A = this chain, B = another copy of it.
Amino acid sequence: MGRLTKEPELRYTTGNNTAVASFTLAVNRRFAQEGQPKADFINVVAWSKTAEFVGKYFTKGIQVAIVGRIQTRTWDDNEGKKHYVTEVVAEEAYFADSKRSGETGGGSPAPRTYSENPPSSGDGFYPIDEDDELPF
């Protein structure tokens, strides 16, 4: 849960042209004390459909909720120095902000949410069966 520190960046992979969105979330600490940081700045990456959703509807300052997993990456700068990056890969992205509401004007209304990974078969549907009571 946090606010975008700036506009998200939307790019496409060179290989198969997959959409990638990246942005940073300012996540306010719940019990920040005097003289301590008041927020964490979490880097988030989203892929394909989620990336496009982000690129289209997320803007600087709005509050969003992200569900995802932590990942790390390495990249080399111009001087050949290795950098380590820890970021969250978004599996679900939600609006969680009231600033968007009351919004008017052109354009189709933004869907409120996006997530990847349709569940594997069987998931979410319980087998109807005679001896299916499962009062384990």
Chain A interface (Cβ < 8 Å from any Cβ of B):
1, 5-6, 9, 11-16, 18, 20, 22-24, 27, 29-33, 36-37, 40-43, 45, 47-48, 65, 70-73, 75, 77, 83-89, 92, 94-102, 115-129, 131-136
Contacts and interface: CB of A to CB of B under 8 A. Distances in A.
A64 B115 CA distance: 17
Contacts of A15: 127
Contacts of A124: 29, 31-33, 36-37, 71, 89
A33 B100 CA distance: 29
- For the residues of A in contact with B, the DSSP-based class is loop
Nearest to A33: B125
27 contacts: A1-B94, A6-B136, A11-B131, A12-B127, A13-B129, A14-B128, A20-B127, A31-B119, A32-B124, A33-B125, A36-B124, A40-B70, A42-B70, A43-B134, A45-B126, A47-B122, A48-B120, A48-B122, A65-B94, A75-B134, A83-B135, A96-B96, A97-B98, A98-B101, A99-B101, A101-B101, A102-B102
